[in-house]
Structure formats: C-alpha cells, structure tokens
Amino acid sequence: MASSQPKLTAINSGIDVKTTFPTARVKRIMQADEDIGKVAIATPTAVTMALQLFITSLVLIGAAEAHESGTNKITVDHLKQGISNTTQFDFLHDLVNNTKDD
C-alpha cells in the first residue's frame, strides 16, 4: 500500500473499482427529495460513478486515520477525524458529529 503518499485519493490511488451498484436504488434516493423532478436515464449512473469515488475516498480517509493511530480497524472516530480534516467533506460534519461512537 502506498502509505508513504501524504494524500491518497480515489482518483490517484490507481485502483480499479468495478463493483455493481444498485442504480435503481440510487435513483430512488435521489427522488426521495420532493424538489427533484425528472431525471434523465444516464443521471443515476453518473451519480453512482460519483458515489463509488466518494465511498472509496471515505474508506481511504478512515484507513489513513486508523493507520495513524496504530490500529488496523476503522472506527467511527477515525471517520469523524478524517472528515473534519477534509474540507471536501464539510457537508458531512453535522451527520457524523451526531453519530454515536463505537
């Protein structure tokens, strides 16, 4: 693992992520918001792509924090720490700060 890299992101990790995502579920989550009207066919797929990148980033951030604290198990605390250190994830602050630690 490239632990010497200061910042490993989903894009530059060189990892090929080909998991199947339930695009229909993504579409339902999108449309759970009443303000969202119609979506073009390609749109849930575009969102799914972004999601894979996002989840990958989050996992990598959690792993980096866990590694920093000398453990190989990622906990909620590690995620909280990583999220507060990443401006890209500011929008998650409230969500994770209301999450119980494990």
Partner 1 sequence: MVDEQEKLLPIANVGRIMKLILPPSAKISKEAKQTIQECASEFISFVTGEASDKCHKENRKTVNGDDICWALSSLGFDDYAEAIVRYLHKYREHESERANYKQQTSKARNVTGRHDHEDKAEGDDDDDDEEGLCHTDSQRGKGTTSTCRRHPAPLEFRIIDRNETSPS
Residues forming the site for partner 1 (CB under 8 A): 1, 9-30, 32-33, 35-56, 58-60, 62-63, 66, 72-76, 78-79, 87-88, 91-92, 95-96, 99-102
Closest CA to 51 of 12, 21, 73, 92: 21
CA distances from 79 to 8, 26, 38 (A): 15, 23, 34
CB 27 within 8 A of CB 39: yes
> Residue 4 or 32: which CB sits closer to partner 1?
32
Extract the tokens encoding 38. 């119609």
Give the whole-angstrom CA distance, residue 49 versus residue 46: 5
